[in-house]
Chain A
Amino acid sequence: MATDILFYVLAALTLIFGALVVANPFSRNPVTSAMFLVLTIISMAGLFVLLNAFFLAAVQVLVYAGAVMVLFLFVIMLLDLKEEERRKIKLTGLVAGVASVGAIVVIFVRSLLAAKPGENLPAPSAIGDTATLGKMLFTNYLLPFEIVSILLLVAMVGVILLSKKDLK
């Protein structure tokens, strides 16, 4: 089926770009990492489309690939991190990190395969349109929605306070 092939392509792209965010053999510049993070997020938005989450795919591109990554790039350029490229990665730390994360992956995958969460599920219908999601946001989830808006206001005030030159 076409959607299956699309899934494999998008999943492979997501994982490859994600790996390049973390460990790029050609460059250790944070800007490269940020650019690959943008690509990871966009291919993940493709996966969201395959899962019928159209609204979330759009939000993912707008908020993550747009707003959040612009913020990241601004900060990277503000800080001027040239020194990062000169530092050596400690081999012991690298080996220990890879080993422990590998062990966690084995646990994840084995428990997933043992639990078989995909069994006995109803055949997925074509839900996921934006209208239903919007109705849910403004009825069942009205209070969390309003609280999140206050959270955003608090974060905004906090950021302005934190980035002032002299805290008084």
Chain B
Amino acid sequence: MTHVGLEHYLIVSALLFALGLLGVITRRNLLVMYMSLELMLNSANLALVSFSRFNDNLNGQVMVFFIITVAAAEVAVGLALIVALYRKRQSAHVEDLTSMKY
């Protein structure tokens, strides 16, 4: 075991991002895809915080603060869209949602 440094955190962040990407690509349920998206957003947060820590610079943490705020707004709007879509089509499955106009 070497001393934990910036690389360790960045590799964890990269793996978490890959997991989120895998979820968005392979899962077909809109809500689970959305959760995977949150996972990707969180991995970016982890990368930013670790850069901020190891460069002795707080700007990264302020950026993460804004990302969390924007993510909260994004989740609210996205879930409202999913609910509106579900009302129209009775499905939250991407393979049922292929046409633009209903």
The residues of A with any CB-CB pair to B shorter than 8 Å are: 1, 3-4, 7-8, 11, 14-15, 18-19, 21-23, 30, 33-34, 37, 40-41, 44, 47-48, 51-53, 55-56, 59-60, 63-64, 67-68, 71-72, 75-76, 78-79, 81, 83-84, 87, 89, 93-94, 97-98, 100-101, 104-105, 108-109, 112-113, 116-118, 121-122, 124-125, 127-128, 132-133, 136-137, 140-141, 144, 148, 151-152, 154-156, 158-159, 162-163
Contact = CB atoms under 8 A, between A and B. Distances in A.
In order of increasing CB-CB distance, the 5 nearest A-B pairs are: A155-B73, A118-B6, A22-B23, A97-B25, A162-B80
B54 to A, nearest CB: 5
Contacts of A133: 58, 61-62, 65
B29 A104 contact: no
A81 B29 contact: yes
A79 B86 contact: yes
Contacts of A68: 38, 71-72, 75
A56 B65 contact: yes
Contacts of B36: 21-22
Contact of B21 (A1, A78, A87, A101): A101
Given A53-B52, A118-B54, A132-B58, A152 B29 contact: no
Given A56-B65, A104-B21, A15 B28 contact: no
At the interface, is chain A mostly helix, strand, loop or mixed? Answer: helix
Interface of B: 1, 3-12, 14-23, 25-29, 31-32, 34-36, 38-39, 42, 45-46, 49-50, 52-56, 58-59, 61-62, 64-66, 68-77, 79-84, 86, 91-93
A92 to B, nearest CB: 11
Contacts of A3: 4
Contacts, number: 222
B69 A151 contact: yes
B39 A18 contact: yes
Nearest to A113: B7
B13 to A, nearest CB: 9
Given A22-B39, A98-B26, A112-B7, 17 more contacts: A40-B39, A48-B49, A56-B68, A63-B69, A71-B79, A78-B83, A83-B91, A89-B28, A93-B25, A108-B11, A112-B14, A117-B10, A121-B6, A124-B56, A128-B52, A128-B61, A152-B69
Nearest to A161: B80
A84 B91 CA distance: 10
